[in-house]
Structure 1
Amino acid sequence: MRRNKAAGAGAYGGGILDAGNSISNLRSSWVNGNRATGQAGGILSRQELNVRKSTVQDNTAGSQGGGIWSGGTRIDGSKLKGNRTTAVGSLGGGLFAGSGTATLNRSEVSRNRADGAGSNGGGIYEQPGSTATIDRTKVANNHPNHCAPTGAVTGCVN
């Protein structure tokens, strides 16, 4: 998925939109340069999403989840790089854990941004009621911080 756009008030899922009751699997894939004016520049998955050996890079969303908006995600051996959110108070430049559990193993979350005044979770944002954990995952060079709220994402050091 490359250079797609979801436009209009509240549009979401610029690259991939899975708002149904299915399980989505990405393997050896590249989700790059997509945009959404609302949520999820790269991927929006309200249910289970499995990302393996893939790259989610340089995607942009207005409010939440520049790279991925997660409703339950397992990310293995993959990269979330250079994604961003742009609106004032936006959350989760790389990953927005909106519900369920997001687990990152042997992956990389780097150079993601949550821009705009009052924005948070440049790398990963864990919405209250959801869970995000990282294991053997590099989290570096995200702005304004790596993970938010502080101490919420298990294994993340700001």
Structure 2
Amino acid sequence: MKIILRSGAVSAAVGVGLSFAVLPVVPATAAGGSHVRCNDITALTNAINQANASGGRITLASRCTYTLTTPDNADDGLPEITGNVTITGRDTTIRRASDATQDFRIFHVMDGGTLTLKSLTVRGGSLANANGGGALNEEGTLNLSRTVIKDNDALEGGGLANTAGELNLDRSTVERNTAAEFGGGVLNDGTLTMKGGSLLRNRAVTSLGGGLENRTGSASLESVSVRGNTAIEGGGLRNANGSTLRLKSTTVRDNVAVSGAGLSNNASTATLVRSLVTRNTAITAGGGIANVANGQVTLTASRVVRNTPDNCSPAGSVTGCTNPTSASNTVTPSTSQLTPAADDIKARD
């Protein structure tokens, strides 16, 4: 069999090969967005700046950790979000280096900005004198999808702080974050919507709202596990200052506080629908729910049971919530109550 190569075809093929050889290699920036190589912080910074200017999607390397050693500006590890920015990964982490010499949070969404994070872990942000260790949403929109906010700390809002903005969490987890004051996991002074996921083992060290401090906002949690959080008041959740809180198909369990271990509702409105508050422990009262300052708590097909030392305080303040006859005024939590079992997430009564 003869193979015939025509001279014109050969010339064309050679020409095409040379053309490809001289083309520069650049990240995709068209409709497909930008692709950032593993731990290329300069490229990530440039991609965010470009997305701020023109909008766009940034795709990070799968199963990679992007480590920030110095801040981009005074308080933020990455550029402030002023445009419409989407960052997507797969088992991908963005973190502040454990040996970083400066304190900074990871993300900061500014007024009018929108940041969407998908399949990421954000961890290690630290700000002793400011809010939002993992991310601060300041009058913007922050969307989290299948994202973990973990091991961050701040003055307020150890994991997330939402200031007059919109915060949406979809099947996301806020875990092991610490606030010196309000909101170990989340501080909400805006609108918060959370569907699926968990508020897990967060801590407000000297103040209020271990898992969530809904300080001056509106918060809706559906199919969420609020578990193992601690605070002085409102171990799992605190709803205060005329705020509104709605729980649907949500479990509040194994939280610890001096008062209001599961939920502290202070001069606010809380509605629980098909939800369970159980096995929370208060040092003084309100093991399940502390409802004070003329607050209103409504239980619809919901149970508040097996909390210590009581289910609801003051007695009779929550219609449909009764206390065990053996309820006492004080209790000393055991070590196991202060550190709930990690694999015990199933709601039981």
**How does the TM-score come out when normalised to structure 2?**
0.41
Unaligned residue ranges in structure 1 (runs of 5+)? none
Residue 236 of structure 2 aligns with which residue? 123
1:42 Cα deviation (Å)? 0.1
User: Higher relative contact order at CA 8 Å, sep ≥6: structure 1 or structure 2?
Assistant: 1
SS in structure 2 of the partner of residue 7 of structure 1: strand
| CA-CA distance at 1:152 after TM superposition | 4.7
Conserved 8 A contact 2:243-2:269: no
CA drift at 1:135: 0.5
Cα distance, 1:41 vs structure 2: 0.3
The one-letter code of the counterpart of 1:148 is S
The one of 101, 123, 133 aligned to 1:14: 133
| SS of match in other structure, 2:136 | strand
Q: Report if aligned partners of 2:227, 2:253 keep a CA contact under 8 Å in 1.
A: yes
Q: Distance in 2 between matches of 1:100 and 1:3?
A: 26
1:37-52 aligned within 5 A: 38-46=155-163, 47-52=165-170
Quote the residue 1:3 is aligned against.
124
Partner of 1:134: 247
- Counterpart in the other structure of 2:103: none
In structure 1, what is the equivalent of residue 79 of structure 2?
Answer: none
Structure 1 position 153, deviation (Å): 2.9
Aligned to 2:216: 99
Tell me if 1:85 matches 2:204: yes
In the alignment, residue 49 of structure 1 is paired with which amino acid?
Answer: L
Give the alignment's Cα RMSD to 1 decimal.
1.5
Q: Is the CA contact (8 Å cut-off) linking 2:186 and 2:213 kept in structure 1? A: yes
Q: Which residue of 1 aligns with 2:58?
A: none
Any idea what the Cα deviations from partners look like across 1:125-157, whole Å, max 9, x if unmatched? 001221111000011001121000279532274
Whose radius of gyration is greater, 1 or 2?
2
2:182 is equivalent to residue 61 of structure 1 = no
Could you say what secondary structure the match of 1:53 adopts? Answer: strand
Q: Is the aligned partner of 1:149 residue 2:265?
A: yes
1:127 maps to amino acid: A
Q: Deviations over 1:95-144 (max 9, x none)?
A: 01022210000111000000xxxx20000000122111100001100112
SS at match of 2:131: coil
In structure 1, the partner of 2:72 is none
Q: Distance in 2 between matches of 1:78 and 1:122?
A: 18
CA contact (8 A) 2:242 2:269 kept: no
Identity %: 36
Letter in 2 for 1:103: S
Please state whether the residue corresponding to 1:65 is helix, strand or coil.
Answer: coil
Structure 2 counterpart SS, 1:6: strand
Q: Distance in 2 between matches of 1:24 and 1:111?
A: 25
Aligned to 2:225: 108
2:133 partner letter: G
Number of equivalent positions: 148
Return the alpha-carbon distance in structure 2 between the equivalents of residues 63 and 107 of structure 1.
23
Give the TM-score normalised by the residue count of structure 1.
0.89
Give the 3-state SS of the residue equivalent to 2:270 in structure 1.
coil
1:23 aligns to 2:23 (yes or no): no
Higher helix share: 2
Residues in 1 aligned to 2:162 and 2:217: alpha-carbon distance in whole angstroms: 11
Question: Is the Cα–Cα contact under 8 Å of residues 97 and 130 in structure 1 kept in the other structure?
Answer: yes
Contact 1:72–1:99 under 8 Å retained in 2: no
Structure in which a larger fraction of residues adopt strand: 2
